């Protein structure tokens, strides 16, 4: 064993130092692996030997094809070496098998129909049609079962490289390395997202070759890594889909109709399965997945040509260079890879020897192909050789980063978006560290302004303070930008949703994106996803007319249009969803609201207030609760989510022409633009987002209602007045309206005036929670450290308005 | 927890030390409120700062005096006098804020406590600790861990966790 470990270490260092410019290097490496494989066989480590053989094959074919994906192969090999090290080291299960019986050596009688030399790894042709079905039947059982069912259908063929006992092994999913697993999960999800994009592209343009290639590569990668982890179902599904795409790019299958649908379904299923990995080891395949695989196989076989049979027999043969070639030429049918079979390098199909997990595709293809030119993040200690080999392998591949775009930035913990759209090399940074950095910079900003205030007079005119101020400001902006990512990915997901919803509702809808490069804080991006989904769904489901004919009848184009726009404005990011559908029916809204008891018949509402009725919980005018929406849950959730981000949402609509729902969210959650006001000896901060204007009033402008409420006339509109001093029980506040200032704020389409003593100014604040225990207080959004070091209370406009409404402003009518 | 052991203790030999007493033994930060002296387990005390500007928080419970800025973090400050329903007094030069760590849900948060003045850190051994009295006192006994007899004085050992847990009921 020591010999092996030594050799593994050597191999690892060779891989690390690999010089791809050296012409002879790949061949030399191949030879080393070959020798290594022999050693392993000699020392009776058949599994590892198979892996090594597979590596040899991979290398050979890489050389043969001109070394295009050499980097990829090297990375794969590094991973394989690492995993082998782990498995061989004392303490790691050397053979990683689940014996079917209790004894170490799997007992031969488990596989009655076994033939000498038949290893499930052989993947002989006969398994072609059966295994899929077979396994599904046994799906309820353990991984061991499918193997059993396979055995009888196995035909002997080809020369085994493995002892007959091997056959009965079934490898359990490798779940013991959570870091590796979570990397797999996030990378796979990225691949799947990219795949979604490409599928959408293909739907519009079935000839889009680049997309086909990208799809193939993505699935190929997922398959590879899945097999490395012994994730059988994922591997199988990925494999079938990959074959399908392969046929498509050979021109034997066109990407439309059922093919398209199945492709989307595959992406969805894989996504679900990969996400399920977060919970723990995967369960057996579900029926849906089996069906999907069956369908995929059918489609793939449908376009199969005669070459199949020949390549089939050749695959039975030795495990040499045939490998992936055979999988290319033939289709999924000849290399069925029953998910349960030991993913050890089926020599025949030789798809994914365990030594070949592929961490990231080196895709120079289009859109958001993430390239992690990742310097192994220092926070991941680990300190295993795997990290170093991986890191250096990645480093060597970093040079090929073509368009590492925001997608990588989005998925990795953080990204350093270095200016221009060209070479962006994201770096993985521990999120906690990033947060700490941002916080500390925030503190610096405060300390600097306190210092400036204190030293102000004395140091006025000196450059040093000014200089420091400038630098601090810059630091602050930089730190804010650290977490900024483009909104593109979120928008892309919307594209998919529009398509799905439109299809379900039998409508034709065109989806247009604008401003997808607009950047915002990652935390905001994460939280804005769900609200956007609701809004977009609503737009398609309710906004757009029920059928293309309905549209032509009123003179519109058949295809409805949903437009998603994002842009920066005054320190916020604005996101608008515009549809050219029916628009909001005011009368229906009012009627429904009266029905629900939200308003009474006599209430007079402005047009904007009527439109905002849709944000009320439980409010929906959809005639039936459709599967998509109509339950009336969507819009109020949207409003709540957006408001929790300290944003706001509005709606504008013209009947017959369409509606626009716009969300405004501050660029970053940490900083707020606020107006400082005094009420008595207290200071409050009103978020500028909500402030419309401020003005003085005289007592003539006030009207009283029922001797309780006060109202002000603002541009021919009566607006309620709330006295902050009363609401917050501040004793020494100004009481005469003409001695104070009214700040007009807006919330949910309604305006209210807040009476304060003075307005001190406007500035940016770092918002901080008010200290646990005080967070639930109504009307208070948080605290901020003022320039003089004291705490200022930030008001939550919604809460304040609610307080005002509930409070009885009885005797505060001194004028 | 110390409460129910009262009757048992009375009948036991003074020299024998109960497990509750042992638990309560340790170092305490002693401080003064009015005429009484109190103790806070030293492990809970994060720091002591002089009285700084406290920003009142509107509509907060009455014993919450407000919030302060502690090196960039905003923490709430409670007025122990109000908790014990004592009269409020003006601040003096000795008035301090003791910042303590208390558990909340599954986290630890910081809360400031205003005290009249801070005395010293005492090592209180198990034998001199008596359980909280059941009778009298305007202090709810669930806020007291026990009483310690130090020389001629009695220090009231506070259960700061239970006091601060009342803080988490927001007034809305």
Question: DSSP character for A176?
Answer: S
pLDDT at A733 over 50: yes
What number is the average pLDDT over the span A253-268? 83
Structure confidence by residue, pLDDT tens digits, A115-128: 333 333 333 333 33
Confidence of residue A433 (pLDDT cuts 50, 70, 90): confident
Q: Which residue has the tokens 């290398």?
A: A59
Instruction: Decide if A218 contacts A191 (C-beta within 8 A).
Output: yes
> Does the pLDDT value for residue A395 go beyond 60?
no
Task: Tell me: pLDDT of A757 over 70.
Answer: yes
Mean pLDDT of chain A: 69
- In the A/B pair of chains, how many CB contacts fall below 8 A? 91
Residue A469: pLDDT over 50: yes
pLDDT > 50? residue A379: no
Place of tokens 């200290």: A771
Q: Is A548 on the interface with B (CB under 8 A)?
A: no
Question: Average pLDDT over chain B, rounded to whole?
Answer: 79
Reduce the DSSP state of residue B79 to 3 states and report it: strand
Task: Say yes or no to pLDDT of A648 above 80.
Answer: yes
Whether A413 shows a pLDDT value over 60: the answer reads no
Residue A327 pLDDT exceeds 70: no
Q: Measured on CA atoms in the order B34, B37, B41, B46, is the torsion positive or negative?
A: positive
User: Which whole number is the average pLDDT over B11-19?
Assistant: 58
pLDDT at position A392 over 50: no
A482-514 residue pLDDT tens: 877 888 888 888 888 888 888 888 888 888 898
The mean pLDDT of A308-312, rounded to a whole number, is 39
Predicted local confidence at residue A226, as pLDDT: 84
CB A730 within 8 A of CB A665: no
Do the beta carbons of residue B87 and residue A800 sit within 8 Å?
A: no
CB contact under 8 A, A772 and B58: no
Cross-sheet strand order for the sheet of B107-115: B45-50, B96-104, B107-115, B73-79, B64-70
Q: Do B59 and A729 touch (CB under 8 A)?
A: yes
Q: Does A756 score more than 70 pLDDT?
A: yes
- Is the Cβ pair A771, B59 closer than 8 Å? no
pLDDT value at residue A636:
78
Lowest mean pLDDT among A315-329, A413-427, A736-750: A315-329
Task: Say yes or no to pLDDT of B170 above 60.
Answer: no
pLDDT band at A374 (very low <50, low <70, confident <90, very high): very low
pLDDT band at B136 (very low <50, low <70, confident <90, very high): low
Among candidates B72, B107, B170 on the partner chain, residue whose Cβ is nearest the Cβ of A774: B170
Dihedral sign of CA atoms B2, B3, B6, B7 in order: negative
Of A84-93, A329-338, A593-602, which has the strongest mean pLDDT? A593-602
pLDDT the model gives residue A707: 64
Test A783 with B55 for CB contact under 8 angstroms. Answer: yes
More confident residue, A658 or A334: A658
CB contact (8 A) between residue B170 and residue A770: no
With H, G, I as helix, E, B as strand and everything else as coil, classify residue A428: coil
Region of poorest pLDDT, from A79-93, A225-239, A320-334, B50-64 = A320-334
pLDDT tens across B59-91, in order? 888 888 889 888 777 888 998 888 877 888 888
Split at pLDDT 50, 70, 90, the class of B114 is: very high
B68 in contact with chain A, both atoms CB, cutoff 8 A: yes
B121 shares contact with chain A (CB less than 8 Å): no
| B100 has a chain A CB within 8 A of its CB | no
Are B59 and A768 inside 8 Å of each other by CB? no
Residues in chain A: 815
Residue A416 pLDDT: 36
Q: Is A725 on the interface with B (CB under 8 A)?
A: no
Q: What is the pLDDT of residue A504?
A: 83
- The ipTM, to two decimals, is 0.70
Mutation target to probe the A interface, by most A beta carbons within 10 A, among B58, B97, B167 is B58
Query: What is residue A105's DSSP assignment?
Result: S
* Tokens 């080999």, residue located: A389
Name the A residues in 684-723 with CB < 8 Å from any B CB.
none
Q: What is the per-residue pLDDT for A531?
A: 82
């Amino acid at each position: 064993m020591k010999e092996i470990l030594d050799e593994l270490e050597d191999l690892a260092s060779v891989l690390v130092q690999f010089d791809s410019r050296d012409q002879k290097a790949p061949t030399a490496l191949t030879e080393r692996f070959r020798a290594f494989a022999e050693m392993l066989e000699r020392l009776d480590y058949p599994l590892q030997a198979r892996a090594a053989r597979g590596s040899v094959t991979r290398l050979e074919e890489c050389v043969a094809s001109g070394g295009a994906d050499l980097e990829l192969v090297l990375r794969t090999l590094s991973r394989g070496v690492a995993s082998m090290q782990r498995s061989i080291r004392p303490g790691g299960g050397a053979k990683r098998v689940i014996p079917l019986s209790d004894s170490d050596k799997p007992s031969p009688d488990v596989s009655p129909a076994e033939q000498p030399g038949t290893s499930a790894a052989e993947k002989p042709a006969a398994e072609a049609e059966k295994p899929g079905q077979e396994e599904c039947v046994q799906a309820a059982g353990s991984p061991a079962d499918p193997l059993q069912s396979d055995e009888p259908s196995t035909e002997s063929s080809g020369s085994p490289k493995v002892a007959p006992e091997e056959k009965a092994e079934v490898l359990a999913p490798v779940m013991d390395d959570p870091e590796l697993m979570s990397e797999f999960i996030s990378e796979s999800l990225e691949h799947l997202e990219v795949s979604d994009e490409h599928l959408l592209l293909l739907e519009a343009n079935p000839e889009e070759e680049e997309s086909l290639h990208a799809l193939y590569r993505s699935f190929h990668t997922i398959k590879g890594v899945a097999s490395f982890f012994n994730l059988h179902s994922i591997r199988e599904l990925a494999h079938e889909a990959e074959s399908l795409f392969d046929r498509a790019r050979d021109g034997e299958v066109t990407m439309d109709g059922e093919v398209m649908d199945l492709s989307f379904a595959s992406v969805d299923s894989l996504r679900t399965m990969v996400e399920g990995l977060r919970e723990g080891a995967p369960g057996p395949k579900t029926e849906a997945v089996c069906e999907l695989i069956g369908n995929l196989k059918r489609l793939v076989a449908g376009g199969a040509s005669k070459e199949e049979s020949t390549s089939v027999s050749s695959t039975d043969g030795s495990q040499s260079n045939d490998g992936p070639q055979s999988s290319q030429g033939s289709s999924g049918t000849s290399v069925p890879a029953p998910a349960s079979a030991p993913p050890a390098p089926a020599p025949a199909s030789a798809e994914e020897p365990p030594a070949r997990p592929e961490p990231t595709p080196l895709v120079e293809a289009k859109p958001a192909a993430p390239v992690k030119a990742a310097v192994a993040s220092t926070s991941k200690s680990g300190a295993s050789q795997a990290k170093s080999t991986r890191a250096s392998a990645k480093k060597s591949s970093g040079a090929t980063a073509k368009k590492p775009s925001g997608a990588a930035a989005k998925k990795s913990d953080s990204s350093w978006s270095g200016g221009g759209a060209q070479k962006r090399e994201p770096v993985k940074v521990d999120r906690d560290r990033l947060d700490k950095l941002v916080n500390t910079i925030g503190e610096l900003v405060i300390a600097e302004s306190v210092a400036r205030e204190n030293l102000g007079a004395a140091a006025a005119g000196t450059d040093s303070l000014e200089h420091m101020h400038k630098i601090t400001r810059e630091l602050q902006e930089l730190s804010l930008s650290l977490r900024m990512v483009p909104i593109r990915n979120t928008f892309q997901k919307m594209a998919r949703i529009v398509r799905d919803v439109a299809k379900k509702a039998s409508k034709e809808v065109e989806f247009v994106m604008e401003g997808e490069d607009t950047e915002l804080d990652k935390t905001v991006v994460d939280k804005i996803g769900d609200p956007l989904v609701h809004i977009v769904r609503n737009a398609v489901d309710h906004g757009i007319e029920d059928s293309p004919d309905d549209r032509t009848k009123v003179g519109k184009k058949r295809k409805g249009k949903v437009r998603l726009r994002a842009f920066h404005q005054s320190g916020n990011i604005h996101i608008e969803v515009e549809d050219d559908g029916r628009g909001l029916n005011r009368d229906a809204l009012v009627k429904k609201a009266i029905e629900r008891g939200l308003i009474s018949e006599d209430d007079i509402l402005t047009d904007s207030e009527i439109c905002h009725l849709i944000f009320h919980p439980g409010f929906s005018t959809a005639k039936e609760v459709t599967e998509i929406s109509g339950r009336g849950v969507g819009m109020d959730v949207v409003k709540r989510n957006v408001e929790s981000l300290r944003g706001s949402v509005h709606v504008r609509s013209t009947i017959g022409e369409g509606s626009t729902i716009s969300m405004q969210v501050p660029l970053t959650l940490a900083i707020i633009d606020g107006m400082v006001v005094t009420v008595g000896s207290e200071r409050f901060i009103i978020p500028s987002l909500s402030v419309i204007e401020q003005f003085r009033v005289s007592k003539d402008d006030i009207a009283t209602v029922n001797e309780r409420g006060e109202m002000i006339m603002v541009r021919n509109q009566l607006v309620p007045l709330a006295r902050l001093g009363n609401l917050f029980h501040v004793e020494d506040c100004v009481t005469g309206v003409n001695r104070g200032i009214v700040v007009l704020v807006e919330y949910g389409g309604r305006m209210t005036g807040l009476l304060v003593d003075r307005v001190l100014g406007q500035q940016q604040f770092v918002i901080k929670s008010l200290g646990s225990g005080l967070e639930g207080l109504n009307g208070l959004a948080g605290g901020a450290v003022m320039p003089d070091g004291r705490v200022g209370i930030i008001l939550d406009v919604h809460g304040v308005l609610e307080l005002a409404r509930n409070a009885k402003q009885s005797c505060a009518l001194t004028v | 927890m110390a409460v129910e052991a009262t009757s048992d203790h009375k009948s036991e030999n003074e020299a024998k030390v109960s497990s509750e007493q042992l638990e309560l033994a340790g170092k305490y930060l002693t401080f003064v409120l009015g005429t009484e002296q109190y103790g806070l387990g030293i492990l809970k005390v994060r720091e002591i700062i002089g009285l700084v500007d406290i920003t009142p928080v509107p509509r907060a419970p009455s014993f919450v005096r407000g919030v302060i800025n502690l090196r960039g973090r905003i923490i709430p400050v409670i007025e122990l006098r109000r908790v014990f329903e004592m009269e409020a007094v003006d601040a003096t030069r000795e008035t301090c804020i003791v910042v303590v760590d208390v558990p909340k849900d599954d986290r630890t948060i910081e809360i400031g406590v205003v005290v009249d003045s801070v005395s010293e850190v005492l090592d209180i051994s198990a034998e001199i600790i008596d359980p909280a009295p059941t009778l009298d006192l305007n202090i709810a006994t669930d806020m007291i861990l026990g009483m310690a007899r130090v020389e001629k004085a009695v220090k009231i050992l506070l259960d700061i966790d239970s006091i601060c847990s009342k803080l988490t009921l927001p007034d809305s």
